[in-house]
Amino acid sequence: MSFKNLQLIKPLLKGLITKNYEIPTLVQEKTIPLVLAKKDIIVTAQTGTGKTAAFALPILQLLFDKQDASKKGKKIRALILSPTRELALQIEEDFNSYGKYTNLRITVVFGGVSIDPQKEKLRKGVDILIATPGRLLDLHKQEYINLNFIETLVLDEADLMLDMGFINDVKKIDRLCNSEKQVLLFSATIPFKVEELAKSILKNFERIEVTRNSSVAKGVEQVIFYTPKPKKIELCLHLLRNSLKGNILIFRRTKFGVDKLEKTLLKNNYKAESIHGDKTQLARQEALSKFKNKEANILIATDVASRGIDIQNLDAVINFDIPNIPETYVHRIGRTGRAGKKGLALSFCSADEKNYIIDIQKLINQQIDVNQEHPYLLDPKDKPEIHKRKGSKHKKGRKSEASKKKKRRWY
């Protein structure tokens, strides 16, 4: 199937050519016709599946068809809610790329930066607004935003939106919008609270599930390193010195942990940048830009700050801290090994995190390989039972030469 088969208009097809998009992804193939048919939908899809285009393209088409009738107005007709500033900026960039030949007015508003330039853009008129909930409500309170004419409302990364405490804001924004609007909800996972929210604001909705949350790309090689918590930084430095190359994304659980690791890596002459919620928007954008432009090859981030960031050609992901939610692990490592390429996912597990590994392995329905030959092994008495894949070549006793070579790749 091609994008032409999805009945997209010529200006959008022209925009897709400039992005070198030829064949729609599964989420786009399933979603675009339903959005064009004005259906409410819930889409379960993870980052990297092409979900932004799945809602951006049909929204652009629906608004373009009515463009002549609304040229003189300044009505916001489509609203996309994003939980983070980085994701909001990424969505705006995608909308501008796809809608390059439509002349539709697109802008983004978010907190952490001056509000005045955003007010000026809104004064000039906007067709499509991408926003974080807090800044949107602030601008609405100051009467710079009117949501009475919203035709389509998109809740992107709904699970993260609720995890960050935006549920009341989302419900308020829903009430402020036109009651006859179309609602599109996208989420990597559909926990109970997301299900409840969907039932309260969507009407006669249809469900689309593109990939099970437990799926891991075949090209991603996963390895666990059991190690004491105080030795994690030394293990990280050991791997960087001896084996890990290329662009590396490291996840830490806390902002303090991100800062601490960044200082250590910089002290050891590594080109590292970091992003987390306490950094200014400018600092976060500069860090991401340096990483994308290869001025730095290591990016350290918390899950919240990194959600929705589009990073191409990522060689490895390191779970410096094991996530306590199994789906988060799948989301993290899904950033490497994209488009059929190979990728690495390394996890540093201390004794108190071993139960998280058990939950992760249950979710993905596989046992993750364990590296037992690094110099910072966990004390045997604290070491969880090591499960090996059925049919694994890693047996007790003498290892084959091929097996030894494979192990040495991590050193």
pLDDT in tens, 67-108: 654 454 579 999 999 998 888 998 999 999 999 999 999 999
Name which of 333, 400, 321 is nearest 364 in CA terms: 333
Q: Which domains does the chain have, with CATH numbers?
A: 3-209 (3.40.50.300), 220-408 (3.40.50.300)
**Distance, CA of 229 to CA of 351 (rounded, Å):** 8
Amino acid at position 58, single letter: P
Q: How many C-beta atoms lie closer than 10 Å to residue 272's C-beta?
A: 23
pLDDT band at 332, cuts 50/70/90?
confident
Mean pLDDT over residues 330-334, rounded?
A: 84
Name which of 361, 379, 365, 343 is nearest 226 in CA terms: 379
**Distance, CA of 138 to CA of 321 (rounded, Å):** 35
Residue 130 has pLDDT above 60, yes or no: yes
Q: Using alpha carbons only, how large is the chain's radius of gyration in Å?
A: 23
The single residue listed with the structure tokens 């409410």 is 40
312/360: higher pLDDT: 360
Q: How many C-beta atoms lie closer than 10 Å to residue 37's C-beta?
A: 11
pLDDT band at 347, cuts 50/70/90?
very high
Q: Which two tokens stand for residue 390?
A: 């059925």
Torsional sign, CA 212, 218, 219, 220: positive
User: What dihedral do alpha carbons 286, 288, 292, 293 form, nearest 10°?
Assistant: 10
**Distance, CA of 383 to CA of 143 (rounded, Å):** 59
pLDDT in tens, 281-300: 788 889 988 998 899 999 99
DSSP-derived pairing of the beta strands 206-209 and 369-370? unpaired
pLDDT in tens, 36-57: 999 999 999 876 678 899 999 9
194/386: higher pLDDT: 194
Buried b (16+ CB within 10 A) or exposed e, 273-298: bbbbeebeeeebbebbebbbeeebbb
335/396: higher pLDDT: 335
Q: What is the pTM of this model?
A: 0.68
121 neighbors 135 (Cβ within 8 angstroms): no
227 neighbors 235 (Cβ within 8 angstroms): yes
Dump strand ranges (E) for 245-342: 248-251, 272-275, 298-301, 316-319
